[in-house]
Structure 1
Amino acid sequence: MKQRSLKVIGAGSALSLLALGAAQAAEDPVRLTIVSWGGAYTASQVRAYHEPWMEMNPHVTIINDDGSANALASLRAQSQAGNVTWDLVDMLPSDAQLACDEGIILQIDHDAMLAAAPDGTPASEDFLPGSLGECFIPQIVYSTIISFNTEMFPEDAMPQSIADFFDTEGFPGRRAIQDRPAANLEWALYADGVAIEDIYDVLATPEGVDRAFAKLDTIKDELVFWTEGAQAPQLLADQEVAFATGYNGRIFDASEVEGQPFEIIWDGQIVEWDGWVVPADGPNVDAVMEYLYFATDTQRLADQAKFISYGPARASSAPLVSTHADLGIDMIPHMPTNPDNYFSPIVLDNDFWTDYGDELRERFANWMLQ
């Protein structure tokens, strides 16, 4: 399908649109449906972006939809039906590239449509290297990690590595993993002795895929599968599992905000971007671009880190990260990119998952049913 591009909104035009917003409030009410992942993550977006934007623009009402887990399939269905109801979607980069290739989301001219850094650095140079996509605007750097309930292990024998996660004799208990292949296949190869820098070369071969599934088979009898991000910490809290894979921000929220006895294994963390895409033929494209200009600027991305332990996707935002808005604790030690945590990262290869994702998702779905 032919890709569709959004009409360029330059910085001056965007600011003019912002100034017009209040004047149009009485006669131009806008309801934006913004799709995200729910839980602590959506809550951080509400406090950092949505609430300030609605306060500045009282004619705008933002409706939250927790549909990001199935965003690509839903956008395809809406596009095929000719009835696009979503305005803005939080999506993973590999899915965003597929949606972009299919023309169901809009191309983005980052420097024309997004705010520059406070020192004038254009957006294309301020967002972290490799994070921008043709149709993708990153917000955060996050990681998928393995966590465990400390009450389910002796104090002198706590798990510390991905290898421990696969060691059911030394570290007994059920394990919860997400019902998708990404992260799980990388961890399987890493635990089986493949060097981090070789993981995707190995996984690109039939033999490498077989090897990853064979390693997963060694813990298959102890596995529980989760779909929504909120399920992983809940399974841990209920002690239905001893380990759970999950998003580092979710585990931070459960541990630091709710006081759950969870620890993160930073070894082999799967580092990834997450960000926004704009559905083609969405009902409020102009209003969405006004919102995005605000919500992806330097201060706003730093503000999100006050509520959840995800790193901002702009270089200019990093020095502004400080303490948690409610807890008052320093957020830097909880960031996946903190040097103390970033000692053996696996940076998720979105090109690999764009090329091989459909095939591997089908095989993984079949494997779960076996």
Structure 2
Amino acid sequence: MKSILIATTALAGLASAALAEGEVNVVSWGGAYEVSQVEAYNKPFTAETGIKVNMIAADNPATPLKAQVEAGNITGDVFDIEVSDAIRLCDEGALVEINPADLPAAPDGTPAAEDFIDGALQDCAVANIFWGTVIAYDNTKFPDGAPTTAADFFDLEKYPGKRGLPKSAKRTLYLALIADGVPADQIYEKLATPEGVAQAFAKLDTIKDSVVWWEAGAQPPQLLADGEVTMATGYNGRFFDAMVGEGKPFTIIWDGQYMDLDMFAIPKGSPNPEAAMAYLKFATDTQRLADQAKYIAYGPSRKSSAALVGKYKDGTTDMAPHMPTNPDHMTTSIMDDPEFWADHDAEMSEQFNAWLAG
């Protein structure tokens, strides 16, 4: 909450300055992710247009966005938000609609509407990155053979040790079903039934006493590094940073990864609407999305960016094998369904919390 207040205050303080022509306020998630955006988007955007980019970090940019909309005082221009928030705020009339025909085509002329991966274009938002919730393990803990599947995460006998899981129905129930043999393309169908939900909780029961629950993205790599767990689920970019950036002995299991995406949206009434739209178009072109992958292991939302993804900023690590959108990692992946969770999140969260307390 403190960081949200700081972000909101920072936005208010920047509002008067940003009203001047040639500036744009971009609200994002901070950390290594923000660094990747500054390097790949902001610096070249300013160099090309002369428009200054003010970055404001928030734990979840949708929070200050909702607060500004409710207060009728918009101080941010571009917000990096999740799909469900983009859909809801668009339905409420709070966001600017975006015509895919206005977005840059791919280098070979392919229209943006055909170049973005399915789900990356919404009525009022454009995705920049795909990211995955994946399993990672400490590869010094299993000398007799490494785990390779979601089912192995639940096998405490063969792969002993505590497990790290998020305190979230959305981020755990799917994994339990995958581990219990439900095909990835049937996960939502199962979760829509009482029997499917019961099946997921029954699978979670098998490891419940061995789970360390986490709530912030930085925790899973730290739990592994501290030896508090031998396996954990978490965000693939966080694990990549720990593995490649910090040299931690971790390995990612891509089986059953839960894929989601982040999107740029512009609120109606933003102080700098023209600069905001110019930034959104620039930041979501083919080259810029490929450039971001130089700094963090999140997949570009455009098909044409894939061939341009090169090496990590260290100049030696090939990034393609670390991308959640790598074809080899998507064979058993589950794509987030924001409409499903809009209908079921409240009830499932209530059941999940009751199960945790039981």
Shared fold by TM > 0.5? Answer: yes
Secondary structure at the aligned position of 1:337 is classed as coil
Identify if the C-alpha distance between structure 1 residues 225 and 90 changes in structure 2 by more than 3 Å, giving closer, same or farther.
farther
The structure 2 residue matched to 1:104, chosen from 90, 94, 101, is 94
* Aligned equivalents of 1:107, 1:29: Cα separation in 2: 22
Task: Find the counterpart in structure 2 of residue 119 from structure 1.
Answer: 108
Which string of whole-angstrom CA distances, capped at 9 and with x for unpartnered residues, describes residues 188-240 of structure 1?
11112222222111100122122212322322222223233222212221222
Match of 2:229 in 1: 241
- Structure 1 counterpart of 2:68: 78
Kindly indicate whether the alpha-carbon contact (under 8 Å) linking 2:142 and 2:159 is maintained by their aligned counterparts in 1. no
Percent of pairs identical after alignment?
A: 50
1:315 is aligned to 2:307: no
Q: Which residue of 2 aligns with 1:142?
A: 131
Q: Which runs of 5+ in 2 are unaligned?
A: 1-16
> For residue 79 of structure 2, what is the amino acid of its counterpart?
V
Is the partner of 1:326 in helix, strand or coil? Answer: coil
- Counterpart of 1:200 in structure 2 is 188
**Aligned match of 1:63 in 55, 64, 68?**
55
Residue among 177, 199, 204 paired with 1:211: 199
Partner of 1:155: 143
Give me the whole-angstrom Cα distance separating, in 2, the residues matched to 1:41 and 1:319. Answer: 21
> Cα RMSD (Å) of the superposition?
2.4
Length-normalised TM-score, structure 2: 0.87
User: SS state of the match for residue 201, structure 1?
Assistant: helix
State the AA in 2 paired with 1:118. P
Alpha-carbon contact 1:181-1:361 (below 8 Å) kept: yes
- Give 5+ residue unaligned stretches, structure 1: 1-24
Cα separation, 2, equivalents of 1:359 and 1:105: 27
Report the Cα distance in structure 2 between the residues aligned to 1:88 and 1:364, rounded to whole angstroms.
Answer: 34
Shift of 1:365: 3.9
- 1:276-319 CA-to-partner distances (Å, cap 9, x unmatched) read 12223333322211111111111101111111222211122111
Contact 2:132/2:235 (8 A) holds in 1: yes
- The size of the alignment, in residue pairs, is 342
Partner of 2:4 in structure 1?
none
TM-score when normalising by structure 1: 0.85
CA distance in 2, matches of 1:34, 1:336: 25
Question: Quick one: distance in 1 between partners of 2:257 and 2:93?
Answer: 32
Distance 1:36 1:269, change over 3 A: same
3-state SS of the aligned residue for 2:275?
Answer: helix
Q: Give the Å deviation of 1:82.
A: 2.0
Partner of 1:177: 165
Aligned to 2:325: 337
What's the offset of the Cα at 1:37?
2.7
- Amino acid of the residue matched to residue 34 of structure 1? V
SS state of the match for residue 344, structure 1? coil
Instruction: Establish whether residue 33 from structure 1 lines up as the match of residue 20 from structure 2.
Output: no
Deviates more, 1:273-282 or 1:201-210: 273-282
